[in-house]
Structures are given as C-alpha cells and as structure tokens.
C-alpha cells in the first residue's frame, strides 16, 4: 500500500467532490460532501481494501487524509 493508492481509494468514495481536489493534506472533514455516511464508507473501504480494523475514533482523531493513511499503515505493520 502506498499513499497515492490510499488517496485514490479515499477519493473514490465521494460522488460530488472531484478526486483532483483530494490530496494527502486535505482536511477531509472540511469537504462539503463529508458526512457520517462517508465516515462509515471510509471504515468499510479500509476493512475491505486493507483488511484493517478502523473505528470512528480513528476518523475523529484525524484531520487530513494522510493522518488516516498513517493509522492504517501502523495497523498493517502491527499485524506483520
């Protein structure tokens, strides 16, 4: 897994937000389309794509897309 692929997967969850506007430093909670439903979609995407348990607390404690990526990466490393 790399950051670019994670950003692509994350951006793919949005219907109305252009993927070009989402990058590592994007404050995802400030996106107009961000909602609790999208938060659940992020949790499901992380579980499906990376086989990592991800929680609402992880999202609440994150500000940027890279913050989310770093949590996922750390959990993958813990499992190895």
Instruction: Kindly give, in sequence order, each residue whose CB lies less than 8 Å from that of residue 75, ignoring residues fewer than 6 positions away.
Output: 52, 53, 54
* 3-class DSSP assignment, residue 65: helix
Confidence at residue 79, expressed as pLDDT on a 0 to 100 scale? 81
Q: At the top level of CATH, which class does the domain 3-79 belong to?
A: mainly alpha
What are the extents of the domains in the chain?
3-79
**Which tens digit of pLDDT belongs to each residue from 28-75?**
999 999 999 999 999 999 999 999 999 999 999 999 999 999 999 999
Per-residue pLDDT for 9 more than 90?
A: yes
pTM of this prediction exceeds 0.85: yes
Per-residue pLDDT for 1 more than 90?
A: no
Mean pLDDT of 11-18: 97
Q: How confident is the model at residue 13 (pLDDT cuts 50, 70, 90)?
A: very high
């Amino acid at each position: 897994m790399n950051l670019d692929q994670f950003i692509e997967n994350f951006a793919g969850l949005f219907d109305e937000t252009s993927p070009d506007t989402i990058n590592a430093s994007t404050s995802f909670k400030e996106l107009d389309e961000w909602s609790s439903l999208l938060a659940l979609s992020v949790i499901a995407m992380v579980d499906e794509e990376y086989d990592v348990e991800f929680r609402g607390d992880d999202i609440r404690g994150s500000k940027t897309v890279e913050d989310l990526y770093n949590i996922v990466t750390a959990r993958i490393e813990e499992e190895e």
